[in-house]
Amino acid sequence: MEHQFILQEQPEIKQQLSASWQAPSNIALVKYWGKHGMQLPANPSISFTLNNCKTITTLTATASGSHAFSIFLDGVSKPSFEPKIKTYFNRIAIYCPWIKSYHFKLETTNTFPHSSGIASSASSMAALSSCIMDLERQLTGKDVDIKKTSFLARLGSGSACRSLKGSVVVWGNHEQTPGSSDLYGVDVSSNLHPVFQNFQDTILLVDKGEKTVSSTVGHELMNGHAYAKARFEQAHDNLTQLKKYLKDGDIEGFIKITESEALTLHSMMMTSHPYFILMKPNTLSIIEEIWKYRTSTKVPVCFTLDAGANVHLLYPGSNKSDVERLIKSKLASYCQNEHYICDHIGNGASAV
């Protein structure tokens, strides 16, 4: 199926091209943990697309005798980013052969602090892939193929394929999701119940430091994991249930699956070989405060976790003022320097 994304035409090379796009990060509800082949997921996942935490990228291409690139973050040259970008360009060259004829200047910035504990790989690779496809449109005159954009983004960072289009995105083959694929993300937000359409995500920054174990290493440790097979089956079942809860507006069901998935992700880390723990004491303190608050007030606030210590606080927009009081009175004290980021559900990438 990958062959469908290979550009068949040989477009006439133009001297200079430029495109600017912004793309948000996303937060997985059903997690993908474990991969195989070329950035393919071991199980399907579903995510909320964020709105405020995004990367803005300008890509300028100048015709050249050979392929090369330079990269700048906030106007400063970032040679440390070059290996990841080089790998990305090498992977997409077969699908966008015209890139071999250009020198690229990549200028990027994030709307969230670089060391905030928010992974920027999803937003940055989604923004870069959007720029690449925009340049391909300028060369060929063909409309941008969102599937190909998501496909290219996946080759840069797996979760990036969920940041292109839609408020809720499924990535990975899932029997109950028509059109789903391991190769790209698909928008499944058309049946999203109104109660979820203004959902909030406040990211509580427990630890802004670099993770002790990278996600890449964590994914690899699922190979041969004692509980991998059961986990992958669980993810399929949880995705089926969660889609129904999102359609029906069942917040209680949503909370049950979302929190269980977050804890399952970290239990996979704690039971791998070698084992590791990314949660911090304050992560657990926040979780306990959330459970206590939800029990006493019946406000439907819940948490999820990425592969790190920070806590994503999820809740309906109608409860925003209540939850803000909880954050300021209790939860912020568990955050590093009392820092947190307010975000909400968004729709994906857009041209700047």
- The 10s digit of each residue's pLDDT in 292-341 is 999 999 999 999 999 999 999 999 999 999 999 999 999 999 999 999 99
- The 10s digit of each residue's pLDDT in 191-245 is 999 999 999 999 999 998 878 888 999 999 999 999 999 999 999 999 999 999 9
> Which of the two residues, 6 and 212, has the higher pLDDT score?
6
What gap in Å lies between CA 45 and CA 242, rounded to an integer? 11
CA distances from 115 to 3, 19, 38, 276, 312 (A): 38, 27, 28, 22, 16
Query: Three-class SS of residue 218?
Result: helix
Per-residue pLDDT, 250 = 98
What gap in Å lies between CA 346 and CA 48, rounded to an integer? 8
Whether pLDDT at 119 is above 70: no
- The 10s digit of each residue's pLDDT in 91-110 is 999 999 999 999 999 999 99
pTM of structure: 0.96
DSSP 8-state assignment for residue 236: H
Query: Three-class SS of residue 244?
Result: helix
